[in-house]
Amino acid sequence: MNKTFISFFTFVGTMLGFHYVLFPIMDIREFSWVMNRYVYYILIPITLIVVNIGFRLKPPISLIALMVWVLGYYFYDAILFPPIPWTLFITYMVMWTIGTFLYISQDANTFREFRAPIVKTIIGEYKIARIVVFALLPMLVGFVTYNNIYPKFQEPVELRTVHPAPPATTKVHGKTWALETARNPYRIDNQDNYKNSFPFLDADKNEYMKNVTEGGTIFFQECHYCHGDQLNGLGMFSHVFNPTPANFIDPGTIAMLRESFLFWRVAKGGPGLPNESTPWSSAMPPWEEHLTTEEIWKVILFEFWYTGWHPRTFDTEESYIGQWEKEGKPTGAYSG
């Protein structure tokens, strides 16, 4: 039998065997460095390489390209967990396809070798292949068409801007805050200086932890139902909302933002979002109606302390830390 066919059937067999036999064994729920789906996945190309080299099958480049492409597809479709959205899947596959193409077209010889079976199929040198391909192609087109036309009942995707640009100023409790310069009045020191003290436990030992504790208290009274008791956006009500509540642990949320941005978001809530962020589809209430300005700042302080992120600052802005101490007792509303 032709070595190419052997290689091809080995590939198909390996994929099926791995997927239906080894995958259920290795994909266990508990985290393990060895028994997990990513280690399982790495075993597939290793097996294919060993088999093909071991039996000296020397598959043609078109078959190698097919294997590479299918392995990419398999990774994004079945291995990467949790499953990624369709739009991202398509994007990744486009990348992978381009990569595969770069691989086969890296020089004139490999590209000629890759084209050879295609050309032979088209001109009829591979008669059976030609019949199969030209019979399957219309069916494939028909299938795709059917899939596209078949009515679906899910909501359409929307391009929602998660972090819209803030306005230049915002008015909270009668005071106008310039977001470019507004600072958290309770950030009296760098939070790294309090690594060994904890809110609630050390609330009475220093001023900073007292404020963090107060912020934490408000968070667990008001916010954790949606944002979660671990601040990961998985609160008990989070699953009924679209969009889901923000996950503060993620490096892409509060870690990227200034405290004044958060102040604006918390104070104005969903209804205060600009149109690009679909204010009608956010359930967050405007907290200025329920909390005082001081409480909002303290909650923000707690969120950064708990997650370990530092608020975004620019260049010399660290200098504002401690400014409150110089200026005396905080009034709660400091607009720089």
Contacts to other proteins by CB under 8 A: 80-88, 91-92, 95-96, 98-99, 102-103, 105-109, 111, 154-168, 179-180, 232-234, 238-239, 242-244, 246-247, 250-253, 255-256, 258, 261, 276, 309-315, 317-318
Question: What angle, rounded to 10 degrees, do the helices at 61-74 and 108-123 form?
Answer: 90
The closest of 250, 243, 289, 241 to 266, measured between CA atoms, is 289
Q: What angle do CA 191, 196, 202 make, to 5 degrees?
A: 90
Q: Which is nearer to other proteins, 187 or 294 (CB)?
A: 187
Query: Shortest distance, CB of residue 226 to other proteins, whole angstroms?
Result: 12
Q: Which is nearer to other proteins, 203 or 284 (CB)?
A: 284
The closest of 223, 211, 195, 228 to 329, measured between CA atoms, is 211
DSSP string, 237-283: TGGG-SSPPP-TTSTTTGGGS-HHHHHHHHHHTGGGS-GGG-GGG--
Query: Shortest distance, CB of residue 127 to other proteins, whole angstroms?
Result: 29
Query: Shortest distance, CB of residue 120 to other proteins, whole angstroms?
Result: 19
Q: Which is nearer to other proteins, 33 or 314 (CB)?
A: 314
Query: Shortest distance, CB of residue 134 to other proteins, whole angstroms?
Result: 26
Query: Shortest distance, CB of residue 204 to other proteins, whole angstroms?
Result: 28
Phi, psi of 56 (to 5 degrees): 50, 50
Q: Which is nearer to other proteins, 20 or 86 (CB)?
A: 86
Q: Which is nearer to other proteins, 119 or 256 (CB)?
A: 256
DSSP string, 109-122: HHHHHHHHHHHHHH
